A and B are shown apart, each in its own frame.
Chain A
């Protein structure tokens, strides 16, 4: 596609529910990144994929968070048993390869009631 696409754009859910966020990177981009942006905070790195592999999962805040990427393209970020502190904007970015400039999607705004 022309840019990085994320869905849904907004998600409101109850505490304790599981949520799945989707990212469609730019076609041909092998590197994919997930970030979290909380109110008043900077962007927090979550996880990085090179192809379908995630060599760096160090940013995932807890074992409730997981991510996968299939076919070297679409990625999903799953949050299990959501908590109110998970409320944030989740941004996805892709790049041609590791180290190249990243292109960002518009994010998914997640609100946990």
Chain B
């Protein structure tokens, strides 16, 4: 059974610092991996999607890497800003589940200190 773990559960860093959020998954046979952002009281916003054949994706100050063999992904945020404060969720799409389900981690609550 695929399980997704995110560490740490919460993180506070001063504005301007670079930071890394971690995601691990137990079954390396994934179709893709996605990072989402969730603001309080809101739904999820997709940040980056990495296909299983890719090793990284970049969007602005965000860079996500994928190492399928070790079951790990990282989300790198450069030059953090207070507006980056949110919960970041990692999710994998499992091909064995006919690609209909996404399995989510519990998220990392990020607080950027002004």
- A residues engaging B (CB < 8 A)? 4, 31, 33, 40-43, 45, 48, 55-56, 59, 91, 93, 98-99, 101-107, 109
Contact = CB atoms under 8 A, between A and B. Distances in A.
Given A55-B100, A101-B34, A101-B49, A40 B43 contact: no
A42 B34 contact: no
Contacts of A101: 34, 46, 49
Contact of B101 (A45, A103, A106): A45
Interface of B: 4, 31, 34, 41-46, 49, 89, 91, 93, 98-107
Contacts of A103: 46
Contacts of A106: 41-43
Contact of B102 (A4, A56, A102, A105): A102
A48 B101 contact: yes
